[in-house]
Structure 1
Amino acid sequence: MATSRTPGMLSTAKPSLPQQAGVQLRVKTSGSPADRLSQSRSMVLQDPVLQKPVTRHRRNQSQHDVLGSAVGAEIAEPLLRGEHLNMTRILEGGRKLRKNWTSVWSILTSEQLLLYKEEKKGSKADTVQLCGAVIGWTMDKSSRKNVFQITTSTGNELLLQVDNYSTALKWYDAIKTAIHASTRADVGSPLRRSSSTEYLPRHGSLPGRGSASPSAKQRNSINRRSINMFGSSKLKHSSSDSSDRSGVKNRLKKFIIRRPSMKTLQEKGLIQDRVFGCQLSTLCEREGSTVPRFLQACVDAVDKRGLQMDGIYRISGNLATIQKLRFIVDQEEPLDLDHSQWEDIHVVAGALKLFFRELPEPLFPSWIFQQLVETLRIKEDQQKIQAVKKLVQQLPPPNLDTMKVLFSHLLRVLAFSTKNLMSAQSLSIVFGPTLMWTEQDAGNMAVNMVYQNQIVEFILIESRQIFGLDRK
């Protein structure tokens, strides 16, 4: 039955109809069957234009890079409430960045880390997505203590740091837990290219996973070299691929078996023995002495030109010049520390300290450190001196003789303390961490540093009795 609809009839429709599915009615005046068929097909669902629902999963959220902006965004319940941390980015979009430490107000949720520039509601925040990220402690990326690094799923890197170790450990453990939880919960999410908003297909283009869309097939044909890491766990290889892999393995085995020894490479001059970073015993054996020649040359130069220099061993020399000196020594080129290019005695003093810091094992081996700490608790001075002397006498000759040369030199520096302003305490602060360290966790770092300084100061003051030095 054909009917004609008037504006009055449309006004009596249920008011909830537009909110349910956005149905559009087209008015037809003709009553032919073709027109009625056209009318029935005209009742189509349009794309919804209503308010976008709030997403509950990170795959439906913004596809911005890992460090994006979030202003007033609705976040999950925080795992850790706000706290001030120091943050710097070091790699973003494949480009290295200069470290620029800033204090940020940090909030950790189950899926992301929010970094605010200031502690205010509604302020702008940088968002670090934790799914697929990697976290770890680092000591070579910054000279600061308690630094850990977060590498995101897109390859961006940032450093977080706080002076208090317990606070740093709390945030490290919480972020690590959140990374593992969010990564496990998001195993089925699509992969994203680094520095791009394009998502890679994960299951749709694999056999047995359903057909992919035409646009996805076209992208797959273009990017056939992309490796699907989360596809089928069992990859099928042809017999030719297996034979190729077998051939590579055989060639690698032959190469490893036939590789020349370290001694052969040294005899041919392909690998040269170095001075910096070499074991003290190995270096002394190679030079045929119990005290490294470079160390003796530095001591003689400072004795000659630096005993009265203000802040000797405390003031740092030019780092580039120190590295140049190190290169010349490692290449075993002729060295004259009286040359004009080494005129700054702080460069020679800095190279001496660098030599001790580069030793694979400290001048005071790790095994003796805890025993020296115990001797510090002895109250009677003479008994304490004898206990330290007994421990020192157990060291190998290169360690013992090098200590005698070094502490005898530091006594001469101490004799001019009124001019160089270097007291026994100042020298111990400089040489404590340089001459001894232990394999311990970062939580005892401050305590061990106090012991290092106290041990070096005591040995320096009592070095004549401990090492049997001449009192001249």
Structure 2
Amino acid sequence: MQKSTRADTSAETLNSTHQCSGAVQMRIKNTNNHHDRLSQTKSMILTDVGKVTEPISRHRRNHSQHVLKDVVPPLEQLMVEKEGYLQKAKIADGGKKLRKNWSTSWIVLSSQKIDFHKESKQQALSNMKTGHKPESVDLRGAKIEWAKEKSSRKNVFQITTAAGNEFLLQSDIDFIILDWFHAIKNAIDRLPNDPSYPSRKLELFKIQRSSSTELLSRYDSDVKEQKPENLKSLMFRLHHSASGSSDKNRVKSRLKKFITRRPSLKTLQEKGLIKDQIFGSHLHTVCEREHSTVPWFVKKCIEAVEKRGLDVDGIYRVSGNLATIQKLKFIVNQEEELNLDDSQWEDIHVVTGALKMFFRELPEPLFPYSFFEPFVEAIKKQDNNARIEALKSLVQKLPLPNHDTMKVLFGHLNKIVAKASKNLMSTQSLGIVFGPTLLRAENEMGNMAIHMVYQNQIAELMLSEYNTIFGSEED
């Protein structure tokens, strides 16, 4: 007898037309083979888009979460505006000064931040894919300025963040550093000054919502307890919360009245409450008050440097402690007597830093604005003797305070050059330090890099030809 094995064919229910994109297929298979088991499979036919649309919740809490997502833009919207190699040095972290160490960095500028990569561009891209985070600088509330006194290198500018971090960026190529400066400045100008925006806006939204909910819940619980002291306390909190805005308005009104009624600077000076300032005043104003043609502070600093700083390595190039320099500036502005031999001014770089700051903060530089172009035209002359004669003629036409102060200063710098074997400060080094400080254009928008070259050359020639330009007499 021949055995025959027949398998029961499973009933399949299929929709062959598939008119509905969400149709479900069911297939049940039964077999007599004991190794097989009952199986049931389900398959979902996706929509034409290729994904199942996520349902939109109408719950208030979920709706508020959708609103909060719109407050802060996603990181993908931070488009890269500029990238390239620059020399970078971080000199402060949260206000704490750091040792200046220059290194080459691949820098990426986006709409509101700068990323510093230690590696090359290719390595930086691969690290970003693997999740490696570079050092970032938030540009919201940041400041950017040229920092010629912070380094002996040329073309240096500084970025100071709202968190107190300070970075120096530098390139030897003029047009590259100018392009970076303007790109970063434009990015900062487009951003709000408040570095906590928009996170602060998000935080306020959460606080306002949570505080109102909490207040109402406390109100319900206190009412249920029916305790008079609780009700009294709650009513006080409600009244205090409601009157908060009016209190702020009253404070603003009082501050506004105080500001409009505050005495002028001239009135305070006449009453002796504020003394005449040395730093930040015009050179001729300082000299008129002192009945001199050279400010006494300039003489004091030069005397101290010639007494104990001529042999110091990097004199006028090395920066002193900024906090101590600011303290010296405050004392000079408030007091008439100053003893630079005091132990608190032991670091001679503090004295030189204060002297450079005095000239840098003059409203009009030692070389007056009206003389800037004539001095530049003089240094452009091809013949060296013609350049010297042109400079000498211009120096003789300077106002007396500018002429005499310039003569004293460059005479002092010549003594620094005479000790160049010990202090390592040549005419070129001093020209780089003092050129942009003493000589600058009133409007430096377009030709800053070109002007920098001429500034240094003029200062160098004034030093090397001091006797010819100012005469051989000594003060």
TM-score above 0.5: yes
Kept after mapping to 1: 8 A contact 2:310/2:416: yes
Match of 1:120 among 116, 122, 125: 125
Which residue matches 2:180? 168
For 2:310 and 2:302, the matched residues in 1 are separated by 10
The alignment-based identity, stated in percent, is 43
Q: Equivalences for 1:209-228 in 2 at 5 Å?
A: none
Kept after mapping to 1: 8 A contact 2:159/2:167: yes
Match of 1:138 among 135, 144, 151: 144
1:338 correspondence with 2:334: no
Once the two structures are TM-superposed, the CA of residue 125 in structure 1 deviates from its matched residue by: 7.5
Question: Please, which runs of 5 or more residues in structure 1 have no aligned partner?
Answer: 1-7, 24-48, 54-58, 128-132, 184-190, 202-216, 225-243
Change (3 A) 1:18 1:290: farther
For 1:358 and 1:111, the matched residues in 2 are separated by 31
SS in 2 for 1:139: strand
Q: Equivalences for 1:5-404 in 2 at 5 Å?
A: 12=13, 14=15, 20=21, 63=69, 103=105, 106=108, 118-120=123-125, 122-124=129-131, 138-139=144-145, 145=156, 163=171, 164-165=176-177, 167-168=179-180, 194=200, 196=202, 259-332=262-335, 334-404=337-407
SS in 2 for 1:138: strand
Kept after mapping to 2: 8 A contact 1:161/1:168: no
For 2:340 and 2:187, the matched residues in 1 are separated by 51
Kept after mapping to 2: 8 A contact 1:429/1:453: yes
Aligned CA RMSD, in angstroms, stands at 5.8
Once the two structures are TM-superposed, the CA of residue 372 in structure 1 deviates from its matched residue by: 0.7
For 1:445 and 1:252, the matched residues in 2 are separated by 42
For 2:395 and 2:372, the matched residues in 1 are separated by 11
For 1:119 and 1:19, the matched residues in 2 are separated by 49
Kept after mapping to 2: 8 A contact 1:136/1:150: yes
Kept after mapping to 1: 8 A contact 2:112/2:188: no
Match of 1:420 among 417, 423, 430: 423
Which amino acid is 1:298 matched to?
C
TM-score, normalised relative to structure 2: 0.59
Which residue matches 2:223? none
Which amino acid is 1:372 matched to?
F
Once the two structures are TM-superposed, the CA of residue 303 in structure 1 deviates from its matched residue by: 2.5
Kept after mapping to 1: 8 A contact 2:86/2:106: yes
1:454 correspondence with 2:432: no
Change (3 A) 1:160 1:379: closer
Change (3 A) 1:66 1:335: same
Which amino acid is 1:124 matched to?
G
TM-score, normalised relative to structure 1: 0.59
1:405 correspondence with 2:412: no
Kept after mapping to 1: 8 A contact 2:287/2:295: yes
For 1:344 and 1:176, the matched residues in 2 are separated by 36
Which amino acid is 1:307 matched to?
L
Once the two structures are TM-superposed, the CA of residue 396 in structure 1 deviates from its matched residue by: 1.9
For 2:311 and 2:168, the matched residues in 1 are separated by 42
Moved more, 96-105 or 451-460: 96-105
Change (3 A) 1:17 1:141: farther
For 2:319 and 2:187, the matched residues in 1 are separated by 38
Question: Please, which runs of 5 or more residues in structure 2 have no aligned partner?
Answer: 1-9, 25-49, 55-64, 216-246
Once the two structures are TM-superposed, the CA of residue 458 in structure 1 deviates from its matched residue by: 0.8
Superposed CA deviations along residues 66-112 of structure 1, whole A, max 9, x for unmatched, are 698x7xxxx6997868756899999xxxx99999999456486x999
Change (3 A) 1:119 1:262: closer
Moved more, 437-446 or 448-457: 437-446
Which amino acid is 1:271 matched to?
I
Which amino acid is 2:125 matched to?
K
For 1:87 and 1:22, the matched residues in 2 are separated by 62
For 2:466 and 2:444, the matched residues in 1 are separated by 31
Change (3 A) 1:254 1:452: same
For 2:167 and 2:307, the matched residues in 1 are separated by 45
Once the two structures are TM-superposed, the CA of residue 290 in structure 1 deviates from its matched residue by: 1.3
Change (3 A) 1:360 1:17: farther
In terms of fraction of residues, the more helix-rich structure is 2
Once the two structures are TM-superposed, the CA of residue 265 in structure 1 deviates from its matched residue by: 0.8
Which amino acid is 1:434 matched to?
T
Which amino acid is 2:318 matched to?
I
Which amino acid is 1:411 matched to?
N
For 2:407 and 2:82, the matched residues in 1 are separated by 55
Which amino acid is 2:371 matched to?
I
Once the two structures are TM-superposed, the CA of residue 296 in structure 1 deviates from its matched residue by: 0.8
Which amino acid is 1:384 matched to?
R
Which amino acid is 1:432 matched to?
G
For 2:254 and 2:68, the matched residues in 1 are separated by 49
